[in-house]
Amino acid sequence: MGTTQQYAIILLKILGTLGLLIFGMRMMSTALQKMAGPQLRHVLGRMTTNRFMGMLTGTGVTCAVQSSSATTVMTVSFVSAGLLTLGQAISVIMGANIGTTLTAWIMSLGYNVDLTNVVFPAFLVGILLIYHKRHRYKGDFLFGIAFMFFSLVLLSSAGKELDLEHNEAVMRFFSSFDTGSHFTILIFLAIGTVITCIVQSSAAVMAITILLCSTGVLPIYLGIALVMGENIGTTATANLAALGANTEARRAALAHLLFNVFGVIWVVCIFYPFVDMVCHLVGYDPSAGGQRERLPIVLAMFHTCFNVTNTALLIGFIPQIEKVVRWMLPDKEKDKNESFKLLYIKANLIQTPEIAVMQAQKETAHFGRRAQDMFGLVQDIINEKNGDRIEELFQQIEQDENYTDEAEINIARFLEQVSDGHLSDDSKMKVRQMLREIGEIESIGDSCYRLARTARRCKQQGEELDATMLQHLHEMTALCDNALSQMNIVLEKPLNDHDLETTYTYENQLNTLRDRFKSDNAIAIDEHQYKYALGTAYGELLGELEKLGDYVVNVVEARFGK
């Protein structure tokens, strides 16, 4: 077999091994996120304003899921869903950068320790757990970590097969670069950035860097430059995920990029002293060479020192970073016709179904608030006497009614997409509840439209409601508004039995008023106190207000799982 053909086969083996590494990392990360989905939601969702707690949370979550990209995309999703402020998100992202250094240490271990005897039993136990439904995520995790370590063993083996240290052409190529030049360092930094952006896996770039350094082909200074580039390239995942998100989410992703770029800038300025310091920590002399088995440890140590130092330097400047990204991405002027677009649901930001459920809950609560705003316009029409203003209000209600139709469809479609993933029993129940909730909220929108249409028709026909009618309608609309306010409290805040009883109280009061006012209306029509058409329209308004109260009860009962 020719040398060229032999190198081609080994190269394909390396590429396949990298693919296996990425798959193993993703499988392990996804399994951990699914096992800890509800806990991750609560940990991140209840983030305090304390920047140090945010940083520690980001570190812990990233160490747990073994993916800084997963943590940053989750964080961007939470910002998009309004669950984290921008300042909180920046502190979490700083912690994620520290947490991801654990991956480099795991890879360093994989290169220095023969894990073959551990990998194959892990595959066996993993497959048994996967077929046991209750423990399938644990099996996925074992399979993922086994794939990851197996790929590192294969990568180390492929590196030895390449025997690059005895390939004069390759050695001549890498030795042609002046490792003492900052320009060379910047070239390799750019290469590391581009490769990481393309493969969307900092782990793969770290693995290939360790491979090249451990074979003695790539000088440690150039390997560290690749690692710095990987730190910038890994921010591409969150920035791509945030493209279709709201401004706050894009700011969080941009803050991640600025944080890493700033770190790279100051390290480049003191590059050689900093790298020499790191090498000294692990007992490696870059000028003497040799000791190749220590090179993976040097890379892991640099990665850790870089991210820990960068976080220590910048954690006190989170408010300033926030101001910078707000200046770079200012708020857009809202178009009146765009005010009812979905705010929190961004399908491209789904990292786990559990997190997507939280986004849907925020969007459903927003949907409820918009329905109450729509009812406020109905009250304005009932009280308004100016014909032009009435038409303007009615057009707004028509527009809002179209929004409620589209919102129901879009939220339902999103929930169906979420249901395709593996959900905890608690989240499955929440999805079912939300599907009921959005249907009833859409019915509230329809009811508001019918109320506005009836009130508008009366005024167009010159049939003005008398003072008694208006007083009665004001009593019922006030109760409906209170019921809607209570509904939105239930949708947004933790449940308690008092919330349900309060809603039932409003509904009983509406029923009592509707029956009394309708009875009075029938008597007034019989006694010809006003025209039959006006009495009929007034009766329709009373009946529709009571129906709206029923829809509110249905939403609240759905939220309670009744």
Residue-wise pLDDT for 442-484, tens only, equals 999 999 999 999 888 887 777 777 888 889 889 999 999 999 9
Average pLDDT over residues 305-315: 89
- Residue 112 is predicted with a pLDDT of 59
Average pLDDT over residues 221-247: 78
Query: Letter for the amino acid at 327?
Result: W
Does pLDDT of 204 surpass 80? no
Does pLDDT of 37 surpass 70? no
Q: Which two tokens stand for residue 416?
A: 């169906």
% pLDDT > 90, the chain:
12
Average pLDDT over residues 363-390: 88
Query: Letter for the amino acid at 499?
Result: D
Instruction: Note the Cα 387 to chain centre separation in Å.
Output: 46
Q: Report the range of poorest mean pLDDT among 128-137, 150-159, 379-388, 440-449.
A: 150-159
**DSSP of 55-101:** HHHHHHHHHHHT-HHHHHHHHHHHHHTTSS-HHHHHHHHHHHHHHTH
CA distance 130 to 119: 16
- Residue 482 is predicted with a pLDDT of 93
**Max alpha carbon distance in the chain (Å)?**
111
Q: Does domain 352-560 have CATH number 1.20.58.220?
A: yes
CA distance 248 to 246: 6
- Counting other chains too, the contacts that 174-183 makes at CB distance below 8 Å and 24 or more residues apart are 174/217, 174/218, 174/219, 174/222, 177/219, 177/222, 179/219, 179/221, 179/222, 180/272, 182/268, 182/271
Average pLDDT over residues 488-512: 85
CA distance 179 to 411: 55
Average pLDDT, the chain: 79
**408, 370 Cβ separation under 8 angstroms:** no
The confidence band for 251, taking pLDDT boundaries of 50, 70 and 90, is confident
DSSP secondary structure letter of residue 336: G
Query: Letter for the amino acid at 70?
Result: A
- Residue 484 is predicted with a pLDDT of 93
DSSP secondary structure letter of residue 493: S
Does pLDDT of 429 surpass 70? yes
Does pLDDT of 179 surpass 60? yes
Does pLDDT of 334 surpass 60? no
The confidence band for 280, taking pLDDT boundaries of 50, 70 and 90, is confident
* Residue ranges of the chain that CATH labels 1.20.58.220: 352-560
Whole-model pTM above 0.95? Answer: no
- Counting other chains too, the contacts that 166-175 makes at CB distance below 8 Å and 24 or more residues apart are 170/217, 171/217, 174/217, 174/218, 174/219, 174/222
Does pLDDT of 274 surpass 80? yes
**410, 342 Cβ separation under 8 angstroms:** yes
Query: Kindly report the CA angle at 11 between 8 and 17, in degrees rounded to 5?
Result: 145
Which of residues 277 and 122 earns the better pLDDT score? 277
The confidence band for 336, taking pLDDT boundaries of 50, 70 and 90, is very low
% pLDDT > 70, the chain:
77
